[in-house]
């Protein structure tokens, strides 16, 4: 097979900004995803800092309560849909074609559209702050009927979500098709790198769950403007119905965030342990089980809505089950390290940070899964602590690991190893200062989404806020490391990591050429 280009006159390719606007190259698109996501991470991070600044001390000092709620809402939405998800789609774009020996993604033009749908969505999302009455102050979960009371900003957010959904669905279809149809000869499914597997499964989750979210926000829209009664008891509807639909999407969503992170970690750990991944087939099966289970446990976010006790029991058992496949993954990673020959460059450090802290976050998830305990902890900072462990120390750390790991392949230059290590240690320490103490706040009963709190919560909040600013600054430092590497990094050796075994390292030069694998490698023996 040989890739053909329309006329193969490369001088027809637009330059400057238009190159990126019109590009059909998976690497360009991957880079745009990654930069977009990092920008969104900073924006969402600044919103987190507004939250933490207000919570530094009891009393209202910095912002008005409704603006605080808008910050919480946008912080959640932007971090989830704007920062973490696009980051991993960026990885997918860069890596999947290279890792399976394909010339590009299956639908390069649609790939471009998936990315270029993000800016309009971002404009609607953030522009909602400027709408009369501001953005929706409803939490990222957008529970009815609070959403009914909001102003025009809420509608902008709803349409932003529709557009984000389109982007995700198209992106996922592209990824699935690429993986199923564009592998090099001999790259059987069970030989695919685990990162590719995790994305196949994630894309399936996305295609199955994003349309459901679209349905939920559409019902919200018609309840707001067209007089339907989906979430209004007066008409026979139920506000809790919204929650069921939302979490049917929302729970798979949290694994959409986690599973590609598992994929990155499953590449990094074997490389730096210089040892093949332990239990490859069980990793694949475990990931698939997590994906299937994730559609069966959604109501563990709704233990206090007063559903029948039988339903609570079912959701408790089902939720606890997820610990098993996740445990298998954790054990496999540890077994991969066991008797390896490990070295601790920055990607490996972040992978270890991930392993340690994600597992802790998983444990607190298990605490929350136990219904009687969750009734005490629901909607407290314990939940906030739990999900920042799995999403910041989990997904975000994995994304850092991935960037440091693949950066040499992408730009052909090395980052500064010493600075990278500093970035890791600062992140690790400040992360824990910020979020570990939130467990205590939650246990003591501090509700989430409040701009002001009782005096008994003052001390830990102050600690957490200090940690947050430290963590934020460490991420600005990361930006510096990146820019330094791009501008004046040392030239990367062909093989910066001696343990790497996937195609992009073994079959392509460093940096990877603009068009890789125009002729697929033959891997049949």
Residues that bind ligand HEA (CB under 6 A): 42, 45-46, 48-49, 51-52, 72-73, 75-76, 79-80, 84, 139-141, 254, 257-258, 300-301, 319, 322-323, 326-327, 330, 359, 362-363, 365-366, 368-369, 374, 377-378, 383-384, 386-388, 390-392, 394-396, 434, 448-449, 468-469, 471-473, 475-476
Q: Which does 174 bind (CB under 5 to 8 A by kind): ligand HEA, another protein, Cu ion, none?
A: another protein
Q: Is 3 exposed, middle or buried (0-12, 13-18, 19+ CB in 10 A)?
A: middle
Q: Closest separation between CB of residue 164 and ligand HEA, Å?
A: 14
Q: Which does 508 bind (CB under 5 to 8 A by kind): ligand HEA, Cu ion, another protein, none?
A: none
Instruction: Name the segment binding Cu ion (CB under 5 A); options: 234-242, 251-259, 349-357, 397-405.
Output: 251-259
Nearer to another protein (CB atom), residue 46 or residue 177 = 177
Using Cβ positions, the residue closest to Cu ion within the complex turns out to be: 251
Which residues on adjacent β-strands are paired with residue 380?
A: 447
Q: What x-and-dash track marks residues 309-338 binding another protein by CB under 8 A?
A: x--xx--xx--xx-xx--xx-xx--xxxxx
Question: At its nearest, how many Å lie between ligand HEA and the CB of residue 290?
Answer: 7
The span from the CA of 110 to the CA of 168, in Å, is 11
Phi, psi of 29 (to 5 degrees): -65, -40
Residue 173 sits in the site that holds another protein (CB under 8 A):
yes
DSSP string over 249-275 = HHHHHHHHHHHHHHHHHHHHHHHHHTS
**Cα distance between residue 51 and residue 449, in whole Å:** 9
Beta bridge pairs of residue 377: none
User: What part of residues 481-520 is at the interface with Cu ion (CB under 5 A)?
Assistant: none
d(CA 215, CA 246): 9
Q: Which does 471 bind (CB under 5 to 8 A by kind): ligand HEA, another protein, Cu ion, none?
A: ligand HEA
Residues in 421-480 at the binding interface with another protein, rule: CB under 8 A: 429, 433, 440-441, 443-445, 447-456, 458-460, 462-463, 466, 470
Which of 198, 346, 352, 502 contacts another protein by CB under 8 A? 352
Nearer to ligand HEA, 353 or 362 (CB): 362
SS3 491: strand
DSSP 129: G
Measured at the CA of 173, the angle between CA 399 and CA 122, to 5 degrees, comes to: 55
Q: Counting beta carbons within 10 angstroms of the beta carbon of residue 448, is it exposed (0 to 12), middle (13 to 18) or buried (19 or more)?
A: middle
Q: Which of another protein, Cu ion, ligand HEA, none binds 133 (CB below 5-8 Å, type-dependent)?
A: another protein
Quick one: DSSP state of residue 523? -
Alpha-carbon span 193 to 269, nearest angstrom: 13
Q: Verify binding: residue 292, another protein, rule CB under 8 A.
A: no
Is residue 113 at the binding interface for another protein, with CB under 8 A as the rule? yes
35 binds, among Cu ion, another protein, ligand HEA, none (CB under 5 to 8 A by kind): none
Q: Which residues contact 182 (CB under 8 A, 6 or more apart)?
A: 97, 100, 102, 103, 105, 106
Residue 495's alpha-carbon distances to 273, 394, 419, in angstroms, are 16, 27, 21
Cβ closer to another protein: 193 or 451? Answer: 451
Tokens 């400040």, residue located? 430
Q: Which residues are catalytic?
A: 75, 104, 140, 167-168, 251, 253, 255, 266, 300-301, 326, 329, 448
Rounded CA separation 14/232 (Å)? 53
From the list 162, 251, 275, 439, which residue makes contact with Cu ion (rule: CB under 5 A)?
Answer: 251
Among ligand HEA, Cu ion, another protein, none, the one that 151 touches (CB under a kind-dependent 5 to 8 A) is another protein
Give the interface with Cu ion as residue ranges (CB under 5 A).
251
């Amino acid at each position: 097979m040989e890739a053909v280009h329309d006329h193969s006159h490369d001088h027809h390719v637009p330059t400057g900004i238009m190159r990126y606007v019109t590009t059909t190259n998976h690497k360009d698109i991957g880079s745009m995803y990654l930069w977009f996501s990092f920008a969104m991470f900073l924006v969402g991070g600044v919103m987190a800092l507004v939250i933490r600044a207000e919570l530094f001390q009891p009393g209202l000092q910095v912002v008005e309560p409704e603006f605080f709620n808008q910050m919480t809402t946008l912080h959640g939405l932007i971090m989830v849909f704007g920062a973490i998800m696009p980051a991993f789609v960026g990885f997918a774009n860069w890596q999947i074609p290279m890792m399976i020996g394909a010339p590009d993604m299956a639908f390069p033009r649609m790939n471009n559209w998936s990315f270029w749908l993000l800016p309009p969505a971002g404009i609607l999302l953030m522009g909602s702050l400027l709408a009369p009455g501001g953005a929706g102050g409803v939490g990222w979960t957008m529970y009815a009927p609070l959403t009914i009371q909001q102003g025009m900003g809420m509608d902008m957010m709803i349409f932003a979500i529709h557009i984000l959904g389109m982007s995700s669905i198209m992106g996922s279809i592209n990824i699935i098709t690429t993986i199923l149809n564009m592998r090099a000869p001999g790259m059987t499914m069970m030989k695919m790198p685990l990162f590719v597997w995790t994305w196949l499964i994630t894309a399936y989750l996305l295609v199955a769950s994003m349309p459901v979210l679209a349905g939920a926000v559409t019902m919200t829209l018609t309840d707001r403007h067209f007089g339907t009664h989906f979430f209004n008891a007066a008409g026979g509807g139920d506000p809790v119905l919204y929650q069921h639909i939302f979490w049917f999407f929302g729970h798979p969503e949290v694994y959409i965030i986690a599973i590609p992170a598992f994929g990155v970690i499953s590449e990094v750990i074997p490389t730096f342990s210089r040892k093949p991944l332990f239990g490859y087939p069980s990793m694949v099966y475990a990931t698939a089980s997590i994906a299937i289970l994730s559609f069966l446990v959604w109501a563990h976010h709704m233990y206090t809505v007063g559903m029948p006790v039988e339903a609570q029991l079912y959701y408790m058992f089902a939720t606890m089950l997820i610990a098993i496949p996740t445990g298998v993954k954790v054990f496999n990673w540890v077994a991969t390290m066991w008797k390896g020959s490990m070295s601790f460059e920055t990607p490996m450090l972040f992978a270890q940070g991930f392993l340690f802290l994600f597992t802790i976050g998983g444990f607190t998830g298990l605490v929350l899964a136990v219904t009687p305990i969750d009734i005490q902890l629901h909607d407290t900072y314990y939940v906030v602590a739990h999900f920042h462990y799995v999403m910041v120390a989990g997904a975000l750390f994995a994304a850092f690991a991935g960037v440091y790991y693949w950066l040499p392949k992408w730009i052909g230059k090395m980052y500064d190893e010493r600075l990278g290590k500093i970035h890791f240690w600062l992140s690790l320490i400040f992360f824990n200062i910020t979020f570990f103490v939130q467990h205590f706040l939650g246990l003591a009963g501090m509700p989430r989404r409040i701009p002001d709190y009782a005096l008994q919560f003052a001390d830990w909040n102050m600690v957490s806020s200090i940690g947050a600013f430290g963590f934020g600054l460490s991420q600005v430092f990361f930006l510096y490391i990146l820019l330094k590497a791009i501008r004046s990094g040392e030239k990367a050796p062909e093989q910066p990591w001696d343990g790497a075994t996937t195609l992009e390292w073994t079959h392509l030069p460093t940096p990877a050429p603009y068009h890789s694998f125009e002729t697929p490698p033959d891997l049949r023996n």
